[in-house]
Amino acid sequence: MTDHAAPQLPEYGLGAAGLGNLYTAITDDEASAVLAAAKDAGFDYFDTAPYYGHGLSEQRIGAFLAEAGYRPALSTKVGRRLEPAGSNPVPDNGFASPAPFIPYFDYSARGIREGFAGSQARLGVDSVDMLLLHDVGAMVHGDAHPKILAQAVNEALPQMATLKAEGKTKWIGLGVNEIRVCEEILAQVDLDVLLLAGRYTLLEHEAALPFLNACHRRGVCVVIGGAFNSGLLAASAGEPLRYDYDTAPEWAVERAAQLRKVCADFDVPLPAAALQFCKAHPTVVSVIPGAKSAEQVRQISEWTRHPIDSGLWAALKERQLISADAPVS
């Protein structure tokens, strides 16, 4: 059991990758409108990272906070440092028109401290609520994973613990898209929180459910990102269907269609079921959908409040579209 107070967060927050121009660009004014709508909706928790738009997401949040005189809960990430691109081409990394910086992985103690200093400057804050080690794991690092894992345990996380002791953050943990690396690190280090994206969702949760149950027993809180599986569960007609930041495979498209049909039988929008399903697990402290317009934020807010009859969950379990053991309310 970890010796920390559980993160106190609103049930729903805002994932701010979209403010870094994920897939498509938005203007500074549009980004500000997203943040204002999130504030109005009570989504008083923003999650960002230096990687999102190569600093652009953090810059936009910092500008909004300074203008609005507002301080929500904040999480950002370490594990990449941003270097000015100069005359070098800027990689897009899935971000349209990112800031003119090149991100490099750096899990060294110095890289963690310097990376966080950059985030502090862009956000205009001295401290954040959660500091997360970003994108460790074999899925990202391949053959380099064992070396990165050792550096995460021996350098990065101890440096993050030092920042916590200095009052620069309340909670430390991981921000990742894979379960295995969470298990590997938790076997060696106590963490306060995990931000797990895309692995515990209405579409896909069978593998993650035992892990979340184990986190609950251990006292490790979880923030759920990617509740729509890169937008697949919230896509409107004609929108590109994505899964794990790429084109959705056929199995995912078919399963989403089956989920949508059962939800329609109960007059529940599929995205409402997707959000409320994620929030139902007792170890989940917040769910952070992304948005790229104020209208999207308002729509998400409606989905979080949409009444859902218990019959929907029973029907989904009966049709084996969700796990029989999944918490649903």
Q: How far apart are CA 156 and CA 150, in angstroms?
A: 9
Please state the length of the chain. 329
In the set 45, 51, 77, 168, the catalytic residue is 77
Cα-flanking dihedrals φ and ψ of residue 320, to 5°? 60, 35
Q: How far apart are CA 18 and CA 34, in angstroms?
A: 10
**Quick count: other Cβ atoms within 10 Å of Cβ 244?**
18
pLDDT in tens, 136-164: 999 999 999 999 999 999 999 999 999 99
Beta strands 128-134 and 73-78, pairing class: parallel
CB crowding 19-29: b at 16 or more within 10 Å, else e? bbbbbeebeee
CB-CB contact of 54 with 95 (8 Å): yes
In the set 45, 47, 51, 106, the catalytic residue is 47
CB-CB contact of 156 with 185 (8 Å): no
Looking at residue 41, its pLDDT comes to: 97
SS3 187: coil
- SS3 of 72-100: the string is CEEEEEECEEEEECCCCCCCCCCECCCCC
pLDDT in tens, 54-70: 999 999 999 999 999 99
Mark whether 104 is an active-site residue.
no
SS3 176: strand
Residue 2, H or E segment = none
87 burial (CB, 10 Å; 0-12 / 13-18 / 19+) is: exposed
**Quick count: other Cβ atoms within 10 Å of Cβ 118?**
18
- SS3 of 27-90: the string is CHHHHHHHHHHHHHHCCCEEECCCCCCCCHHHHHHHHHHHHHCCCCEEEEEECEEEEECCCCCC
Looking at residue 187, its pLDDT comes to: 97
In the set 12, 45, 51, 52, the catalytic residue is 52
Mark whether 77 is an active-site residue.
yes
Looking at residue 5, its pLDDT comes to: 66
Cα atoms found within 13 Å of the Cα of residue 83, Cβ hemisphere only:
12
CB crowding 137-161: b at 16 or more within 10 Å, else e? bbebbeeebeebbebbbebbbebbb
Mark whether 52 is an active-site residue.
yes
Q: Please state at what angle helix 208-218 crosses helix 179-186, rounded to 10 degrees.
A: 30
Residues of the chain with pLDDT under 50: 1-3
Beta-ladder partners of 46: 14, 74
Q: How far apart are CA 271 and CA 229, in angstroms?
A: 11
Residue 312, H or E segment = helix 310-318
